[in-house]
Amino acid sequence: MIKKIFIPLLISLFFPVIAYCAEYIDFTLTTYDNSNYDITYYRKYKEIAKQYYKGNKLVKMTGGLPDGKLKLLNFNNLPVAIVNIKNNKFEGQCIFLQRKYSVRFNPPYEKVKSMYKAGILNGPTEIFNINGDIAFKLNYKDGALDGESFFFDYAANEKKVVLFKNGKKVSEHVSKIK
Amino acid sequence: MKFKKINLKSLFIKLSIFIVSLLLLFTLLELSLRLLGKKWQQGRPDYMSEETIAKHDKIVACFGDSYTVGGLGTKDLSYPGILNKMTASDNTAVLNLGICESNSSQVLEAIENYTAANNPEAIVLLVGAANKYNFYGMKKINFYQKLRIYKMYQIMKLSVENRFLKKQIVKSFSETPNTGYYLSNDIEKIFSDAMQIDKTHGTLHMANYYISRKNDRLPMQSSFVSAGNKKVKAMIEDLSEQEKKKILVDIVHIYAFIGDKAKAEQYYRLAKKYNPEQAKEMFVFYCLDNADMNEKEKLKAFNDFIAENPYEGYCNIINYYLNKTVFIKDKAEKERRLKLAKNYLDKIIRLEPENRRTYEIMLSFYRENGEFEKAQELYETKFLEEGITTRFKNFYYRMAYYLIYYGKFGEAVEYFLKAFEQNPRLDLHCYYYFSKAFDLQNKYDAKYVLNKFEEISKKYPDLQNNTSFNTCKESFKNRERFEEDILEWLQADIEKIIDICRKKDIKLIIQNYPFPYHAVNNLLRQTAEKNNIIFIDNYSVFEKIAEEDGYDKYFLDFDHCTPEGHRIIADNVYAALAENKVIRK
C-alpha cells in the first residue's frame, strides 16, 4: 500500500526536476561536411542555437549554414566570433576572439582578424595582443604567406618586416615604429 | 512478440489512489500552515485575546504589511506594540493586525472583515509596498491565490531567485576564459606562421591558444588538456634562454588567469630560473591570488619583497588577504583575513599616509569589509576628484555587484545608475544584473530609472546605437507602464478603505513608509490629501534623522525598521491620535 502511494508521489515530485534539467542538456551541432570549422554546443553559442533550434527542437541542417554574416555569442552574450559565410565557407573578413578572465571588469582579449576567399586565407591576417594593439600582420595568398609580414614590438618600439614568397622566407629587416 | 495486457481497472485504481493521496498531502500541508500561522500570531508579545481587548474602552486597529508586523526580528517591538503601551493610560487597545507581504487588496479584505464584526475608534494604515510583487487582487482573485501553500510557494520562489542571483554574482567574479579561436581551423597555422616571423611572441600566442582551449568545455577537453600542455612544454623547451626569459612569465600569467593553479606554480618556478626579478614581481602582482600555494609559501615570497621594499611588500600582503574576501563563506576565515589585512593596512598608513596606493588599498579594504559608505566617500573624495585610475574605473559596478551579493538591491540599483552615468557602454550582463536588482527592490521606480537613462542618453549621444543600453531602456518603459497600473490599483483600494471608514464613522490615519519607496509614498500622501484624511509623513521624519544619526540606527535590514525606528513611528502615530482626539494624552 505504501509503495502504491508514495512511489508514484515521489516520481511526480521529480517531474519538475527532470523538466528543469532537460533545459540544460547540451546539444551538439557538428553536421558540417566541410572542414573549415566545426561548431558545437547549443548552450555556448546562442546565435547558432537561435537559428537552428525552434521550440527546443533541432532542425536538421541539410544545406549547411546560410550565406551572410554570422555572429557567435558565448554564455555572457559576448561575441566570440564574427564570420562571413558563403557557400558554407568563410568569405571576406572573419574575426575570432579569445576572451579572457573577468570579462566584465577588464575586457582584455586577443583577436585574430583574417581575410578569406572561398574558405582559404587570402589577404591580410592581423593578430591583436591583449592590449588591443596589432602584434602581427601576416599577408596570405591562397593559404600561404606571401608578401610582407610584420611583427610589432611595442616595448622596443621596433617593427620586424619579413618578406615571404609562396610560404618561404625571402628576407627580413627591423625598423623603428614611426 | 508478446505484450502484457494492460489492466485498465488496476491502472485507474492506482491513479485514483495517487491523486487522492496528493490532494490529501496538500490539504494536510495547508492545514498545518494555517495552524502554525495562528500559533505564531498568538505567541506574539503584542497579541491580545478577545477578553483582553474587551477590557479596553477604545480600539485602534493597525493594518499593513511586514512594517506593521514588526519587520524581521523585531516583532515584539512593532510600532503597534509600542503604541499599545503608550495608550494604556487612556485604556485604549492598539491591535497589530498586520500580515507580512500584504498588499492593499489583502488589507482591504481584512478591514472589511474586521469592521463587519468590530467597531474600532480608529484605523492606522501603512500599506502599498508589497503591491509591487504581490499581485493578489490586482485582477480577478483565483481560488489558489488564497491558499497558504501558494503563499509558501511564492516565498520559496523569491528566495530561490535571490540565491540564484547571488550565485551568478559569485560566478561572474571567477569567470573562465572562453575562446572563439577554435572556430577557425586556421588558427594553428596562423600562429605557427607568426612564430616564423617572431619566435618568442608567436610561441606565446600559440601557447595561449593551447592553454586556453582547455576551458572551452569541449567534449575532448580532458584529452586536449594534456595534449595542449605537452605542446606548450615542447615549444618552450625549444626556445633559447633569452627567449625563455621573455615569455615564461607570460606563460605563468596565462595559467594563473585560467585558474590552472598547479601549472602556474610549476611555470613560476621555471620562470624564476630565467628571469628572477620579473618573475618575482609578476608572481606577486598577478599570480599569487590564483596560484594554489599554501599561505606560508606565499608569505615567504612577500617577505622577500618586504626586505627590499617594506611598503610594496605590505601592500601585496594586504591585496592577497583582501582578494574576494567578500565571497568567503567561512565566517571565521573571512574575519581572520580582514583582521590581518587591517593590521598591515595600519602599517602602510603609518609608512605612507598620503600615497595614492594607500588610498587604493583602503578602498579595497572598505569594500571587502562591507563598509560601502566609507568606500564610496573615499572613492569620491580621493579618486573621482583627482581623475579615475584604470584600476578603479569600474568601482561603482563592483560595488553594485557586491551589494547584490549582500541582498541590498535598492542600493545596488543606485550604484548601477552611477556606473552607467560614468560609462554606459557595457555588455548586456551589467544591464541584466541591474534589471534583476531593480525587480527585487522597492526603493526606486521605473520612472526614476527612465529619467536617469534620459540624462545619460543626453550625455552620450552616440548611445542610440548601443543595443544593451537601448534594450534595457525599452524594458524600463514597459516596467513604467506596469507600475502605473499598480499605483492605480493601490489608489483604488485605498479609496475603498476610506469609503468603509467613512460609512462606519471610523477615523482613518494613513502613513507613508519611513523607507524611500518614493512612488508609493507620494501616492499615499496624495490620496490622503485628496480625501482629507489624516496623514503621517514618516518618510520626511526618517530622512532627516537617518541623515543625522546614521541609517543603521533606524533601519534593520535593507528596508525594515529597528526597534528605535518603530518607536519613532509609534511617536508619530501617537501624536496624530492625540491631535485628532482619538486618545487623551
Of A40, A127, A145, Cβ closest to residue B205: A127
- CA A84/CA A71 separation, integer angstroms: 9
Smallest CA–CA distance, residue A56 to chain B, in Å, is 21
Spell A32-44 as b/e; 16+ CB within 10 A means b.
Answer: eeeebbebbbbeb
Side chain identity at B446, as an amino acid letter?
A
pLDDT at B450 over 50: yes
Choose the mutation target among A9, A105, A130, A148 for the interface with B, i.e. most B CBs under 10 Å: A105
Helices B446-459, B409-422: inter-axial angle, 10-degree rounding: 10
What confidence score (pLDDT) does residue B292 get? Answer: 53
**What confidence category does residue B225 fall into, taking pLDDT thresholds of 50, 70 and 90?**
low
In a domain, A45, yes or no: no
Name every chain B residue with its beta carbon within 8 A of the beta carbon of A104.
172, 175, 394, 397, 427, 429-430
ipTM of the complex: 0.73
- Dist CA B462 CA B447 (whole Å): 23
CB nearest B185 (choices: A36, A100, A105):
A36
What is the Rg, in whole angstroms, of the alpha carbon atoms belonging to chain B? 31
For domain B42-141+506-579, give the CATH number: 3.40.50.1110
- What integer pLDDT is reported at residue A13 of this predicted model? 64
Q: Is residue A35, in this structure, part of any structural domain at all?
A: no
The answer to whether position A46 is within a domain reads no
Asked whether the predicted pLDDT for residue B70 surpasses 70, the reply is yes
Identity of the residue in A90, A98, A127 whose CB atom sits nearest the CB atom of B190: A127
Q: Are B90 and B58 in contact (CB under 8 A)?
A: yes
Task: Report pLDDT for B532.
Answer: 92
Cα A116 from Cα A140, distance rounded (Å): 9
Question: Domain limits of chain B?
Answer: 42-141+506-579, 180-289
Residue A167 belongs to domain with CATH number: 2.20.110
Across the interface, whether the CB atoms of B177 and A9 are under 8 A apart is answered: no
Q: How far is B201 from chain A (nearest CA, A)?
A: 8
Higher pLDDT, B377 or B552: B377
Asked if B197 lies within 8 A of A150 by C-beta distance, the reply is yes
Instruction: Please name the residues between 406 and 435 in chain B that touch chain A, using a CB distance below 8 Å.
Output: 427-430
Specify the higher pLDDT residue, B242 or B165: B242
- In a domain, residue A57? The reply is no
pLDDT digits (tens, 9 = 90+) for B319-329: 878 877 877 87
In this complex, which of B21, B189, B194 lies closest to A127 when CB atoms are compared?
Answer: B194
**CA B399/CA B92 separation, integer angstroms:** 48
CB contact under 8 A, A96 and B177: no
What mean pLDDT do residues B63-84 have? 80
Residue A88 included in any domain: yes
Q: Do B397 and A121 touch (CB under 8 A)?
A: no
Domain enclosing residue A161, as ranges: 65-176
User: Which residues of chain A register pLDDT less than 50?
Assistant: 19-63, 101-107
Mean pLDDT score, B184-211: 88
Identity of the residue numbered B339 = K
Q: What is the mean pLDDT of chain B?
A: 82
Domain count for chain A, please give it: 1
Q: Which of A77, A83, A125 sits opposite B429 (nearest CB)?
A: A77
Q: Look at residue A9 in the predicted model and tell me its pLDDT.
A: 67
Q: Considering Cα of B455, then B458, then B459, then B460, what sign does the dihedral take?
A: positive
Question: Measured between alpha carbons, how far is B218 from B292 in angstroms, rounded to an integer?
Answer: 25
Cell of B280: 618575482
Task: Give the pLDDT band (50/70/90) at residue B282.
Answer: low
Are A98 and B394 within 8 A, CB to CB? no
Least confident interval from A48-57, B46-55, B76-85, B450-459: A48-57
In Å, what is the CA distance from B544 to each residue of A18, B551, B573? 53, 10, 18
Q: Any chain A CB within 8 A of the CB of B11?
A: no
Question: For residues B199 and A162, what is the distance between their CA atoms, to the nearest angstrom?
Answer: 13
User: What is the per-residue pLDDT across B414-445, written as a single tens digit (0 to 9) for each?
Assistant: 999 998 888 887 666 678 788 888 887 878 88
pLDDT at B311: 85
A29 in any annotated domain: no
Q: Residue B295 pLDDT > 80, yes or no? A: no
Tell me whether residue A50 is in a domain: no
Instruction: Tell me the sheet residues that pair with A160.
Output: A151, A174
Closest-CA residue of A relative to B199 is: A151
Please report, as a single letter, which amino acid is at residue B475: S
Name which of B385, B351, B382 is nearest B366 in CA terms.
Answer: B382
**pLDDT for B461:** 83
B-chain residues near A20 (CB < 8 A): none
Q: Which residues of A touch B190 (CB under 8 A)?
A: 112, 114, 121, 125, 127, 138
In a domain, A118, yes or no: yes
Mean pLDDT of B273-292: 64
